Amino acid sequence: MWDGELDEQKLKGVFSSLVADGGWLFLKGENQKAADSFTSALALNQDDKNCFVGRSKCYLKMGHSDQALKDAEASLKVDATFFEGLYMKAEALYHMAEFEFALVFYHRGLKLRPQIQEFRLGIQKAQEAMENSIGSPSSVKLKNKGDLAFFRKEEEVKRSKPISAIQNLTKEKKQQSQKTPKKEKTTRQMLGEFYSDRKYLESLMKDEDLVKGKTKGGERLEDVIQGCLSYLDTCTDFWKQESPICDQEKNRKPAQQKRSKPRHCAASEHAQFLLKSLDEIDADLECGNAEGSLKKAEEVMKVVQRWSDKEVPDKKEILGGLHSCMGNAWLDLGDVDKALEHHHKDLELTKQCNMPEALSRALDNIGRVYVQTGQFEQAAEFWQKKIPLVYGALEKTWLFHGLGCCYLMLDRHDEAREFGLRSAAAADEAADEKWQINAHVLVAQSELKLGNFESSVFYFERALTHAKLQEDDSAMEAIQKALEEAKQQLPQ
């Protein structure tokens, strides 16, 4: 191996260690040391967006909001769609009392990652802060704080339905008895929690002084705000089209209703059948009756396949869910090939349906099958695809831990450490002690394999502390043994 390649590998190792140290120092509350570690890492790789965000968090904790903002913006120069950078920019602006601009970037983040609760909470707290400080939208005066183009309608809105296929069916029966709402009431129902945002934007449009302003990029604020309103109007129209058939059925003539059975009735019957059947399928599998679960799923699938797409618009999603159940049953029965076959069919159907949650489920199941058969490379490949679909801290914790374990088994120790650290950070966010134990042990094992013995001891000790807090005797015993072995590797 050439000397240049060796030097490059050493630099990568140093960079990874600095990033890892920064992450843990931040978790320990040593914010200045953490910021210094991220600064040293950036000296080696000046375009690492995660380092900028990591240091931004440190600055914000220390009360240096302006520096936190600069780092957040630096991460967005590297990747304009980096949602963590958007969140940190919004947080920094909020702490600088630039509530109106914080609101803009919370909205931009929510557009990119609609399932991340932090953006919704940010919107709420920014609006409350603005109301408390200025009383009404008419006194808001935006200053130029970078790009304000949020909620742009850059392409036709393609949004997956907000509820599952079966819930769509059960919803129809409830809505059939409602009176046809007036236009404003319909808009309120369609937009839900975004209705108040729309009213707020409408009030901004009435401020003549405000709408005459321009962004740093030269765009008129009137155009930006109108773009937001257009986006929400498009969403409203789309969701109206997606609403159940019951509103159309109500407007038909009584004679016509007598001649044909309304679709909502059939949909309700299908929903009741599916809910009951899926409960039975899950119950059998949980009780260890995989054969019974599989048989029931196969029977239900035959029934669903006879239904028309008009009767059940979400037929593919339902079939995907049944394939998932059958894959799990086959895995319990020990037939890995058939398990993978059904999980891949689930994956294929969910891609056609554009349902992120179902897609995440299919990728997860495929990864689990590969892990169980020792095919860690394939498991990591599918779990990596799942990362953009995961939003909850607890789900991130076990996913990152699973990926880290795969890489540890593949002797890819740098990647194992990286995902161990990410798992630990997510476990800390979720305040889950047990997963903190697992994550710290993974990092310690990775550091041990990398020859970073002091760091390995540190993480084993952290894991041991969490195990003691949990009063987990078996974990304490195993960690203590590993800790002693790691200490023996320390230079005398």
Q: Of residues 384 and 255, which shows the higher confidence score?
A: 384
- 130: pLDDT confidence band, cut at 50, 70 and 90? confident
**Could you list the residue range(s) of the whole structural domain that residue 407 is in?**
390-491
Instruction: Verify that 366 and 435 share a domain, yes or no.
Output: no
CATH assignment at residue 92: 1.25.40.10
| pLDDT for the residue numbered 369 | 92
Over residues 310-332, the mean pLDDT reads 86
Mean pLDDT across 191-201: 65
pLDDT of residue 471: 81
Compute the residue count for the chain.
Answer: 492
Rounded mean pLDDT of 182-191? Answer: 57
Least confident of 101-115, 160-174, 471-485: 160-174
Residue 216 counted as domain residue: no
pLDDT exceeds cutoff 60 at 154: no
Residues 332 and 440 in one domain: no
Mean pLDDT check: name the lowest of 131-135, 153-157, 295-299: 153-157
Sign of dihedral through CA atoms 192, 193, 197, 199?
positive
**73 and 39 in one domain?**
yes
pLDDT score recorded for residue 245: 37
The least confident of 34-48, 135-149, 224-238, 345-359 is 135-149
Look at residue 55 and tell me if it is in a domain: yes
Nearest alpha-carbon partner for 416 in 428, 400, 427, 430: 400
Instruction: Kindly report which listed range (199-213, 455-469, 470-484) carries the lowest average pLDDT score.
Output: 199-213
pLDDT value for 92? 92
Shared domain check, 56 and 16: yes
Least confident stretch, 122-126, 161-165, 300-304: 161-165
How far is the C-alpha of 251 from the C-alpha of 448, rounded, in Å? Answer: 71
Same domain, 125 and 17: yes
Lowest mean pLDDT among 6-10, 445-449, 478-482: 6-10
Alpha-carbon gap, residue 325 to 339, rounded angstroms: 9
pLDDT at 254 over 60: no
- Phi first, then psi, for residue 289 (nearest 5°) are -95, 70
Region 122-140 average pLDDT? 64
Q: What does the pLDDT look like over 378-392, one tens digit per residue?
A: 999 999 999 998 878
Residue 439 has pLDDT above 80, yes or no: yes
- Between 250-259, 347-356, 380-389, the lowest mean confidence (pLDDT) is in 250-259
Specify if 276 maps to a domain.
no
162 inside domain: no
Does 156 reside within a domain?
no
- Shared-domain flag, residues 28 and 52: yes
For 40, the token pair is: 């040293």
- Residue-level pLDDT at 26: 82
- For residue 434, pLDDT beyond 80: yes
Residue 225, pLDDT > 80, answer: no
Q: Which residues contact 48 (CB under 8 A, 6 or more apart)?
A: 19, 41, 42, 78
When the pLDDT of each residue in the chain is averaged and rounded to a whole number, the result is 76
Residue 449: per-residue pLDDT: 92
- Identify residue 395 by its one-letter amino acid code: E
Tell me: pLDDT of 136 over 60. Answer: no
d(CA 279, CA 296): 11
Of 388, 412, 445, the last residue of a domain is 388
> pLDDT class for 473, splitting at 50, 70, 90?
confident
Note the pLDDT of residue 257.
Answer: 40
Same domain for 32 and 20: yes
Q: What is the pLDDT of residue 383?
A: 94
Q: With bands split at pLDDT 50, 70 and 90, how would you rate the model's confidence at 221?
A: low
Domain ends where: 133, 164, 179?
Answer: 133
Give residue 431's pLDDT: 79
Work out the average pLDDT over 396-421.
Answer: 93
Indicate whether 74 belongs to any domain.
yes
- The more confidently predicted of residues 248 and 301 is 301
Considering the domain architecture, whether residues 113 and 52 belong to the same structural domain is answered as yes
Question: What average pLDDT score do residues 83-90 get?
Answer: 91
Last residue of a domain, one of 80, 110, 133: 133
Q: Answer yes or no: do 377 and 482 share one domain.
A: no
Token pair belonging to 393: 């801290």
Q: What is the mean pLDDT of residues 295-320?
A: 85
The pLDDT value recorded for residue 184 is: 59
Residues 48 and 93 in one domain: yes
- Residues 246, 264 contacting (CB under 8 angstroms): yes
One domain, residues 420 and 347: no
Sign of dihedral through CA atoms 405, 52, 64, 105?
A: negative
3-class DSSP state of 161: coil
Q: What gap in Å lies between CA 398 and CA 298, rounded to an integer?
A: 31
* Amino acid in the structure at residue 15: F
Is residue 404 within 8 A of residue 435, CB to CB? The reply is no
Would 274 be classed as within a structural domain? no
Query: In the predicted model, is pLDDT for residue 259 greater than 50?
Result: no
Q: What is the pLDDT at residue 218?
A: 53
Distances (CA, A) of 415 to 52, 407, 428: 20, 6, 20
Whole-number pLDDT of residue 310: 79
Helix (H, G, I), strand (E, B) or coil at 355: coil
- 362 backbone dihedrals φ, ψ, rounded to 5°: -65, -45
Cα separation, 248 vs 8, whole angstroms:
66
State the total domains in the chain: 3
In a domain, 453, yes or no: yes
Tell me: do 309 and 378 sit in the same domain.
Answer: yes
Per-residue pLDDT at 219 exceeds 70: no
